[in-house]
Amino acid sequence: MLISSCFARPTELSSDKCAVPSWAVSSVNVTYSSDTYTPGTTSFKITNSLTHQAESLSCALEFNTLCQVAGTPLDDTLRIVFWINMDYAFVTFNKTWTCRDTIPFEPELTSFVIGNADLHLLCPEVVEDNMACTGPIEENVVANGEIVTPIPEPPVVDDEGSEDEV
């Protein structure tokens, strides 16, 4: 499978200093295994749109459907997941991200940046051993990154009415 260009576009928080990282995905190659219990392989290149740093990555294609990368050499908080089903793939980026807004003494905000993309692939009409699919069929597949901030745990109120943090 060859994915020519998928993008997770940058967005911003309330401050220009908090630009959200995003990644372009290219040069994806998938080799399916003829045995369901023997992983195939997936390799691909990502480029961070803010730093312009590129990484070539690879991972096992478990059960010929799932490829996961937990941290990369340039970004140990980046998680990438490919779900592949013959002529369809779904890609998710998930990065733990911190940002200090414009107020110097304000604590950093810890969030997650999540971006998704659907890819339609061209595969042989007849399923064959060790086959490969290519794509995407669509032009300019885009995964828009969005910020997800965890909801804090509510304080615990004891019998005497005082609040304790969880």
Residues near 128 by Cβ (< 8 Å), separated by ≥ 6?
none
Q: What is the pTM of this model?
A: 0.71
d(Cα 117, Cα 7) in Å, to the nearest integer?
Answer: 8
Domain that holds residue 13: 6-164
**Domain count within the chain:** 1
What gap in Å lies between CA 7 and CA 116, rounded to an integer? 9
Give a yes or no: residue 119 inside a domain. yes
Which residue would you say has higher pLDDT here, 83 or 2?
83
Within-domain flag for 83: yes
pLDDT of residue 56: 92
Mean pLDDT in residue range 131-153: 66
Residue 142 lies in a domain: yes
Assigned domain for 1 exists: no
Residue 125 domain-assigned?
A: yes
Tens-place pLDDT, residues 78-119? 999 989 887 788 888 898 877 766 566 667 777 888 888 777
Cα separation, 109 vs 92, whole angstroms: 22
Range among 1-15, 40-54, 75-89 rated most confident: 75-89
Residue 152 covered by a domain: yes
- Report if residue 122 sits inside a domain: yes
Mean pLDDT, residues 23-38 taken together: 80
In a domain, 65, yes or no: yes
The pLDDT of 48-52, averaged and rounded, is 81
